[in-house]
């Protein structure tokens, strides 16, 4: 009976999360950061914390995390953003050489689009999960999602942009790896097979990629998922972390009581 009750609670949490996603997103692509073409036309540089900056583009976003050794770039934004990212690195780190690591949370084009441009001005290694590297490198297309009915109109408007320009991956990462600078790799399959989150335990910062999103102050599951059941399992695992700041692939970061917001999503 206890196992059945636990199963019912998990199913109820998933249903509530789906309802929150429908209410928050509807069929409006702007709700998850999709506006127009995936070519960048501008960037806002936003200080989230003294160590964390959000680089927000017309479509999507990425992050610069400053550790004791320099800067890590989490995702690379849409194509055409490479020069703007270089400017941000210079402003925050003092020179382009401050960038020591580039890591992508998964292989969709709004997260990998400027990798090839960044490689022209930086020697920082590009990292991706071992199940995602061939997608980032252009050896295969992103796996198609299994769409909820309410996601179909939204997906139809962005599908053609989900494969970004290919860029070589210098090294692959796996669950439990600790990157130079201290970010810990967490394999969070569901959005894609090789999606990862990155956790900095000392500062309680979690980069979720598209496993989670934010809209109108609500933390919601990401959209366009390969396996929603697996996604919710990954979210439940993330909810067990001690987190103060949540950083999403789409939406505003949550900078206070983020762990409580995450736990409410799966309660």
Secondary structure E strands in 137-254: 171-173, 184-187, 196-200, 205-207, 212-215, 218-221, 245-247
pLDDT in tens, 59-69: 789 999 999 99
pLDDT digits (tens, 9 = 90+) for 252-265: 999 999 999 999 99
Mean pLDDT of all residues in 96-120? 96
Q: CA-CA distance, 77 to 55, in Å (whole number)?
A: 8
Under 8 Å between Cβ of 82 and 117: yes
Of all residues in the chain, the percent with pLDDT exceeding 90 is 75
140: pLDDT strictly greater than 70: yes
Q: Write down the pTM of the prediction.
A: 0.87
Would you give the distance in Å from CA 212 to the centre of its chain?
8
State the CB neighbour count (10 A cutoff) for residue 253.
Answer: 20
Is the pLDDT at 98 greater than 70, yes or no? yes
**Is residue 160 scored above 90 in pLDDT?**
no
Average pLDDT, the chain: 87
For residue 254, report the phi and psi dihedrals to the nearest 5 degrees: -100, 120
**Band of residue 154 on the pLDDT scale cut at 50, 70, 90:** confident
What pLDDT does 176 receive?
A: 98
Domains of the chain from N-terminus onward: 2-266 (3.60.15.10)
Q: Decide: 103 and 174 in contact? Cβ < 8 Å.
A: no
Q: Look at residue 27 in the predicted model and tell me its pLDDT.
A: 33
Residue 14 pLDDT grade (very low, low, confident, very high; cuts 50, 70, 90):
low
What is the model's pLDDT at position 12? 52
Residues 6+ apart with CB under 8 A from 249: 33, 60, 61, 75, 105, 110, 111, 208, 209, 210, 213, 222
Q: Which of the residue ranges 5-14, 37-46, 62-71, 226-235 would you say has the lowest mean pLDDT?
A: 5-14
């Amino acid at each position: 009976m206890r196992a059945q009750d636990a199963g019912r609670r998990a199913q109820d949490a998933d249903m509530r999360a789906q309802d929150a996603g429908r209410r928050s997103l509807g069929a409006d692509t702007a709700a998850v950061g999709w506006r127009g073409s995936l070519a960048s036309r501008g960037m806002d540089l936003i200080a989230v914390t003294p160590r964390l900056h959000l680089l927000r583009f017309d479509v999507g976003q990425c992050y610069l995390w400053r550790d004791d050794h320099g800067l890590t770039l989490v995702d690379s934004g849409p194509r055409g953003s490479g020069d703007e990212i270089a400017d941000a690195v210079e402003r925050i780190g003092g020179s382009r050489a401050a960038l020591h690591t580039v890591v992508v949370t998964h292989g969709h084009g709004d997260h990998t689009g400027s990798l090839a441009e960044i490689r022209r001005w930086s020697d920082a290694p590009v990292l991706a999960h071992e199940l995602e590297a061939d997608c980032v490198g252009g050896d295969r297309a992103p796996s198609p999602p299994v769409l909820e009915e309410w996601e179909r109109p939204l997906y139809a408007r962005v599908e053609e942009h989900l494969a970004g320009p290919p860029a070589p991956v210098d090294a692959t990462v796996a669950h439990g790896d600790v990157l130079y600078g201290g970010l810990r790799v967490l394999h969070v399959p569901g959005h894609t097979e090789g999606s990862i989150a990155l956790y900095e335990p000392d500062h309680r910062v979690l980069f979720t990629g598209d496993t989670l999103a934010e809209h109108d102050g609500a933390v919601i599951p990401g959209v366009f998922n390969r396996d929603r059941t697996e996604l919710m399992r990954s979210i439940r695992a993330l909810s067990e972390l001690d987190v103060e700041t949540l950083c999403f692939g789409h939406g505003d970061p949550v900078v206070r009581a983020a762990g409580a917001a995450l736990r409410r999503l799966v309660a």
